[in-house]
Amino acid sequence: MCNQAVGLIAAEIERRGIPTVCIALLREVVEKVRPPRALAVPFAHGFPLGAPGDAELQRRVVREALGMVEGASAGERPVIGEFDGN
């Protein structure tokens, strides 16, 4: 349900002209709801940025997600990226 909520909020923000990116715990839900950009992460529910206390891993996920708003604007939408942990 969380994946739907962030997707719907993201769409509303994006309609105002502000680019957004969602972390996606369930890629299947993101494909159905279709927020503009999402980074699918291989983590369990409850752990959207990886692990508690692991600042480096959390920073890597946040950096990669925010990098998506700087990416190319042409092509297929929504844009769904994959965080592979490396």
Partner 1 sequence: MSELPLATRLFVKAYRWRRVDPVPWASLRRPLREAKIALVSTAGLVLPGQEPFDDDLKGGDWSFREVPSDADVHTMRDTHRSGSFDHSGVQADPNLAFPLDRLRELVAEGTIGSVNQRHFSMMGSITLPQRLCEESAPAVASMLEADGVDAVLLIPI
> Does 82 interact with partner 1 (rule: CB under 8 A)?
no
Q: Is the dihedral of CA 86, 84, 51, 63 positive or negative?
A: positive
> Does 35 interact with partner 1 (rule: CB under 8 A)?
yes
> Does 85 interact with partner 1 (rule: CB under 8 A)?
no
Q: CA-CA distance, 73 to 37, in Å (whole number)? A: 11
Nearer to partner 1, 15 or 85 (CB): 15
Identity of the amino acid at 37:
R
Task: Using CB under 8 A, pick the residue from 4, 40, 82, 84 that binds partner 1.
Answer: 4
Nearer to partner 1, 78 or 81 (CB): 78
- Cis amide linkage into residue 78, ω under 30° from 0: yes
3 state SS of 37: strand
Contact code string over 59-78 relative to partner 1, x by CB under 8 A:
x--xx-xxx-xx--x---xx
